[in-house]
Amino acid sequence: MSCYPNTPVSILPPVSQGFGPLMWINGNQAARLNIPIEPSFFVYDGIKAWWANGSASQPLTLTNLQQQQNIPYLLGMNDLSQIVKTTFSVQVATSLYGGTAGQIPVQTAPSTTGFIPVGEPNYLLTSTGASTPSWTDQGSITAGNATQAYSLTFSPFDPVDGGKVLYQNSDNETALTAVGDTTQVLQGGGAGNAPTWVNKSSLSVASAVTATTATTATTATTATTATTATNVYDGAAGSLPYQTASSTTTTLPIGTANQLLTVNSGATAPVWQTGIIGVSGTVTGAASGVVGETLSWSSSATSITTGQTKDILTISSSSTPSLTTGDWQFGATFVFACTATTISATQVFTGGIGTTSVTTVAGQRFQFPTMSTVTANTFTFEAPTPRVSILVSTGGTVYATATAPTFTGVGSSMTVTCYLTARRMR
């Protein structure tokens, strides 16, 4: 019975037998193979045998290798070119083989990976639908419709700065304004022109529905704050604008003829009033400068001689109280005190108010003649003047003047006292 030799040997079939199945026979029955030039495997494929070093001319083929799961070791080569076993472990690839910097990997076929070349600046990677994606100039990309746009960017991919305003630069093209400051408002540039920020102080608005702050507003539906408003929206002709609350304006309809504008009982709004209503409740004198203001003066008993004309009172801005500019209505009462006087009949007592010293003017004076001769009597004669309206200008002076009748008598004398009042009419 044939058996394997005790020492490793390789045996080829005899030449005379040709190529056939390799038979293990005793080592002395076959010619020994030549020693290989380099380390090699002895390979027999069932027909022929050879030394195999893994080269193209001496390939190493093992056609009947079995598939094995969970292989603990792999066959490898160390630094000395020796075949050794090594522990098997799964390695994770962190980089792809091939490609250059900036290229993008893409599957060109099942289980086949290629690379997309580096694109031009500002180009976008777009899908072709079936083949490999390609770089496309963003200027040639058309975006259809977007239901919602939360943020916009503009070339060269700068985000929209806070405070900028979007506007259409042309059909289907959007642009941005610059950022305005707190002293500016946005003004349209007209057809085909971009809006711009302008200073409020130089703004002129011909027509505005709402103007928060406007230097000049020709017509404004609502003007919250306006430096100058040429016209106020709403309100019929003749109506008056007034504030119903802070920063809220409305209008008061036009009143009827001869009505006066006053304030309602709640002091909350102006109203038209027919006639002047007098004061009620606690009554006090009209304040200085107000219509109805009343002033009064009086003189001491002033001596006057027979037939003499004399200023009994002189009032001006330096008087107490002071006479101020205005439309005044004056009235005076003159008191003549006679002592041991003899006055013939038809002699006249005269008193008046005017703006010329020692002058009494008809219409501004009284004249009371004696009805019969008075002989050496002592008596008092008191008479009022008519009400006299005088326009007092700045620095004006008013005189209360009396003229004594002709009188005689031993030890006779006469004095005049004047009580003058004035009421401001305007």
pLDDT, tens only, 61-86: 776 777 776 777 777 778 887 788 88
Q: What is the C-alpha R_g of the chain?
A: 64
pTM exceeds 0.85 for this model: no
Which residue type occupies 418?
Answer: C
Strands (E), 120-171: 123-126, 134-137, 153-154, 158-159, 166-170
Lowest mean pLDDT among 186-190, 208-212, 221-225: 208-212
Share the mean pLDDT of the chain: 80
Whether 211 has a pLDDT exceeding 60, the answer reads no
Of 201 and 41, more confident: 41
pLDDT value at 313 more than 60: yes
β-pairing verdict for 365-369 and 348-354: antiparallel
Whether the predicted pLDDT of 28 surpasses 80? no
Domains identified in the chain and CATH numbers: 197-249 (no CATH), 294-424 (2.60.120)
pLDDT-derived band at 396 (thresholds 50, 70, 90) equals very high
**Closest-CA residue to 328 (of 341, 317, 340):** 317
How many Cα atoms sit within 13 Å of 121 on the Cβ side?
A: 3
Answer yes or no: are the C-beta atoms of 308 and 416 closer than 8 Å. no
Residues sharing a CB contact under 8 Å with residue 417, sequence separation 6 or more, in sequence order: 298, 299, 300, 301, 302, 312, 334, 335, 337
Both tokens assigned to 20: 């056939």
Query: Which pairs from 47-50 meet CB under 8 Å and 24+ separation?
Result: 47/19, 48/19, 49/10, 49/12, 49/22
Q: Above 60 in pLDDT, residue 219? A: no
**Residues linked to residue 301 through DSSP beta bridges, in sequence order:** none
Non-local CB neighbours of 158 within 8 Å, separated by 6+ positions: none
Question: Residue 262 — φ and ψ, nearest 5°?
Answer: -140, -170
